Structure 1
């Protein structure tokens, strides 16, 4: 028992400790960048980017914008999840999608849900690159159904997966082509940002008969 008679697990619950660790990590990243906070669309740790089309993020976020109430409050719902009492996928998604971010964002690294496309898109819109490991694993397992969730993500892992789908997976080829149009062709055409990897992927797309815009001289 603590000095005031409160058991340690209640005086310092796990999600509070993870929140402190998350806040410390965020503060360290900001100090390393000279105090500049993270902004959607700018480079994230590890070279991961989120590139939203106009209005896309708001559309994807819509399922988590509905008002919701939960018995016992969100802290109790988070406690039930941490203690392993909240096991069904829909209830977990509701907690991560609707509970205050300061309660659930620190728990994301250990969460391994099976997603629907709607839930995956809403999580990506809410948490950005913090749910990369979740949406990537789901899309890789079910390319046709969940591949579209990766559309705004730009990083090496996603690029390699799209190249693989383009090469060998007919069911996901249109998804890979759309991703290439958004990230590779347009990125490669920006002054000072053309790179060999982007050119190789664009060439691979054309070699598969996919109609990317013509290369510029």
Structure 2
């Protein structure tokens, strides 16, 4: 499969040791080679054909990393209180450094927090299927907008003419997301001008007169 091909896939990820499923996604559209899924899984998808299914095993170094004891930190409980938090074992926290960790224990006024990824050190297995190649421009643009906005958008209309594309979007889409998607549309699809048209949809609402 060529890089930058839009495809619809389904996949399920589980921990090899326990069989516990940690991720399951059906019928999502991605751009192969753009790291819209786990990079190692993305590399595997690039070697697949439409209609193909595979069961693959990914080692920790290529999955969620090797466990690092240096990422287990002792943090004073007073630091949590400074952020209006009361720590407890099992709590997930993010303090200042933008790393998410899990509180392991609390003892003598200090909390032991593990900042390793929860799946660090685990061999993982994926069942992945490439269901179809996506050709419709509306689907391609919607997939990019949904991925970067983390929002389901439903139907979306585009109008492409030459190297210009016009995209209808709801007004709730973040401007930074629109800029990122425009960059991707240019890089992947080759358009030199991306225009957004904000659509305010009042369908289904009752129309009221001035004297209502």
Going by fraction, where is helix more abundant, 1 or 2?
A: 1
With the length of structure 2 as denominator, give the TM-score of the two structures. Answer: 0.26
Q: Which has the higher contact order (CA 8 A, sep 6+)?
A: 2
Q: Rg bigger for which structure?
A: 2
